[in-house]
Structures are given as structure tokens and as C-alpha cells.
Chain A
Amino acid sequence: MVTVYFELPDEEIISTSKYFNNSYTDEWLDDWAKRVIREIDNSELISEGMVQSPVLGPITIREISGGAKALITMNSDNTVISNANSCGDNCAPLLAELSRRKDFSVYLSYPMKFGDLTFDMKIARTGRICHKAAEYEKEYLLWRQNMTS
């Protein structure tokens, strides 16, 4: 289950790219990472830390997208609240899938579009459990409206 924090103190929000670049180990670059890089970046993890990008050519793992770095961090590092604001809507299917098989936490302050996906999500500020986009969006909107009350 993914625990979603709509807001966090600035000092607790990780810089996805810098954190990933300074934290990843070989163990992080597993089958999940290969899949993330393939499905999000349309690229291939070809060897230790090397990626073949259709746009940029051969690049290092440090140059993959912020969304891919965030999804890999969510799977491999339970010591931090991953920054899902680095993830665009195209990351929603993998985030939803990951939420159904492991526990992790994310900071997510925008209404990611989950569409028809199902997921296991706990909203940190209310403790409510959401499995569908409409439930999550309702919680998100209540939080936003509560900010100006």
C-alpha cells in the first residue's frame, strides 16, 4: 500500500534526481528498474548503469527521467518518502501496480490521473483508504479546499 502525503515540510521533500544519483546501488537496478526505464523512458538498461535512449543515445543511469528515478526509488528504498511529484501521469500505472504489492510512502501534491486503475492507497492526513481515482481525487480536493478555509 502506498501512503500519500499531500504536503510535507520542505526539508523532508527529497530531490528525486539528486537523491537517486547519490543513493542507488547495483541492487536497485533490478527487473523492476529495467521495466520502469523501458515503459517510462522508452529506453533500455543495457549494462551496469548504462542506458540506451532513442533520443539521447547511450546515457548513464544518472540521466534517466525524474519519473523513472522516483519509481525505482519507491521500490528500492524504504528509508525515505519518495517524491511522486517527479512522476507524470504516465507513471500512474506502475505506481498503482507497485502499491498493490508493497508498502511505501510518497509525497504527491498534484492530482495524478489514475483513470480506471485500481490501487491500494492510504491518505496520510486523514487515514482514509482509496482504491479508485474518484476516491483519491475527492481526498485531494478536500485537502486543497481545506488549505484556504
Chain B
Amino acid sequence: METKHDILVNNKRGVQFKFTIYRKFTIIRGDSATGKTTLFQMVSDAASSRVSGVTVSCDVTVRPLNESGYILELQEESNRIYVIDEDFGPLKSYDFAKAALQSDNCFIIITRESLPAIPYSYKEIYGIKTSGKFHSLERIYPDYEEFHNTGKIVTEDEDAGYDYYKFFYGDKVLTSKGNSNLSKYGSKNTLLIGDGCAIGAYIQDLLLTKSDLYLPESFEYTLLRKSMFLHVNEVKESLSNPGKKISTKYVSAERYYTDLLTQITRNTPAQYSKANLNECYVKDCCCKGTRCEFFTREKKAPET
């Protein structure tokens, strides 16, 4: 299932919600009394068997997810967008996370819980913007995509990702060994590097540390944006329209970008491995901008 969808929910009294989702998981929080529960209630009313006065317009079915029988429903149904209210009891449970991650559906979750078992992007956390009866979604956090070379640099990545930054910035680079530990290294004059597409559960913690943040989609996304892949059509298409490419079969965009990078570099000198950093990604390539016949026959592929 594609993850980009336009959604319009309105009723005969003129209350309207209009927004677009871009990923498998969308989180709605923000101030009280902005219409979150009204949105859920309208979607619930529309899903009833009788004419409800609510219209939901979307290219796929939009439904509320209720506690009763939800695991079976997520296993059996596909190509749906489920809206989940903050009163959904199993929301923090392992069972819910497992069922949602494995399902071929998208989820709009209304909650202020952090949900660390679900890899969602900090860019897909929204508040509701209200203008009279008209409601839309508004991102809560700005982009953190500018690299600031600060006194200390800490990346959540180990292995290739860690080696990559260490190559350029030397011994001041540390690894936190995972996104859940990243905030422990935070302080002023420190740059924290995380996978933006899966760090939603920790974004509030990171901001409290007063650190600088650099949150590209993922390490693999950073590599895919390098000039060596500028002319690879699959990369161009993926970076320009990720919602069309990143399907719900991927638990997060990080997996998608890893698969893509692995696939396009397989059996080339630039073969990607998470375990070891390939020098092609940090040293000048003699035929930049072409595909892998490209990456010089003289260069040896690294040991993997």
C-alpha cells in the first residue's frame, strides 16, 4: 500500500478536516480543543452502516480502529487508513505495535504518548490548525537537516554510519548505539545525529537536551543523496516522491532506503553494507555521476 493519501472529512454542518498523510504512521497531538476527538468521532460516524451525514473522501477506506478484535482486523484487512483515538487501550502495548508494523495499512494515531515501539518520523507529528469550522494538519517540528560542526558529535549509528562521520570529523564523533540512548549524550555544543524517519518517539527528549540536531531520514538516505547517485532513476524517483515508493510493507522508511541502497549497489564496487563503511562513500570517485562501471575498476571493494 502506498503511504501518501489525501483525506477530506466533512459533515453537513460544515465541519471539515482536510489533510495529506505521507507515511505509514501519522501522529496527531498538540493543544487541547483543536478537534482531534471530533475528527475521530466523524470518521467513526461515517463508518457506521447507516447514513451519518459525514462524508470521508480518500482513495482508500478510512476507518476507526476499535479495541475489540483489532489484531485479527489488522491481519485480515489491507489498503486501509485506520484512525486511532487516544482512548485506544492497547496503544502502548507490544501486541499493538507488532500488529500495526506487520499490517498492510496506514495509521493516524491521536496520542501524546511517545510510542517507542513504533518507528515514526518526527516530520509526521502534527497538531490540528483550526480556522472556524475548517481544520488541517500542521507539523509540530521544523526540519533538522542542517549539519552544524559542533564541539562534539554523537550519532545513533554504529558501524558504517559511525565510521562515516568519524572519517570526516575524527575522534570527536561518538556513537550512542541506538536512538533510545541518543538524548543521554545531549548538551549544548553537541550535535546529535539520528534517523529522522524513526526518531519520533524521542524527539521531545532530544529537544530538552538543548543540543543541535541533525536528523536526515536515515544514514542510507544521506548516502543516496550523494552526487554519485544523481543519475540513478530509482533514486531520483524515490527522493522526489517517497510516499509513492515507501509502501506499508516497510516498517519504516529507514528499511526502504537501506533496501534501495543495497539493491542499486549490489555487485558493484560501491556495494553497501551496514557493517562496514565502503570507501566509495567517503573518498573521491574518479567517475562521479555515472553508474557503477563508474566507480572505477581499480578500486577494490571493501572486505565485508
Do the beta carbons of B32 and A110 come within 8 Å of each other?
Answer: no
Among the stretches B86-94, B165-173, B228-236, B244-252, the one at the interface with A is B86-94
- Shortest beta-carbon distance, B268 to chain A, in Å? 37
**A66 to B37 alpha-carbon distance, docked (Å):** 8
- Range of interface residues on A (Cβ < 8 Å): 20 to 34
What are the residues of chain A within 8 A of B205 when measuring CB–CB? 111, 141, 144-145
Do the beta carbons of A67 and B209 come within 8 Å of each other?
Answer: no
Among the stretches A25-33, A87-95, A96-104, the one at the interface with B is A87-95
- Is residue A85 contacting chain B, with contact meaning CB distance below 8 A? yes
Query: Chain B 1-38 against A: per-residue CB contact (8 Å), 1 yes, 0 no?
Result: 00000000000010100000000000001111111111
Do the beta carbons of B33 and A89 come within 8 Å of each other?
Answer: no
Do the beta carbons of B32 and A91 come within 8 Å of each other?
Answer: yes
**A90 to B32 alpha-carbon distance, docked (Å):** 7
In terms of DSSP, what is the predominant structure of the interface of chain A?
Answer: helix
**A97 to B179 alpha-carbon distance, docked (Å):** 36
**A93 to B60 alpha-carbon distance, docked (Å):** 41
Count, chain B residues at interface, CB 8 A: 33
When the two chains form the complex, which single residue of B35, B180, B183 contacts A55, counting CB atoms closer than 8 Å? B35
Do the beta carbons of B86 and A110 come within 8 Å of each other?
Answer: no
- Is residue A109 contacting chain B, with contact meaning CB distance below 8 A? yes
**A101 to B34 alpha-carbon distance, docked (Å):** 28
Do the beta carbons of A85 and B113 come within 8 Å of each other?
Answer: yes
**A67 to B32 alpha-carbon distance, docked (Å):** 5
Q: Which of B's residues lie within 8 Å of A, judged by CB?
A: 13, 15, 29-38, 86-87, 89, 92-93, 111-114, 130, 132-133, 178, 180-181, 183-184, 204-205, 208-209
Q: A17-B37, A55-B38, A55-B133 are in contact. List 5 more A-B contacts (CB 8 A).
A: A42-B33, A54-B132, A56-B38, A64-B33, A110-B29
Top 10 closest pairs, chain A to chain B, by CB: A67-B32, A88-B31, A65-B33, A88-B32, A90-B31, A148-B180, A41-B33, A110-B112, A15-B87, A65-B32
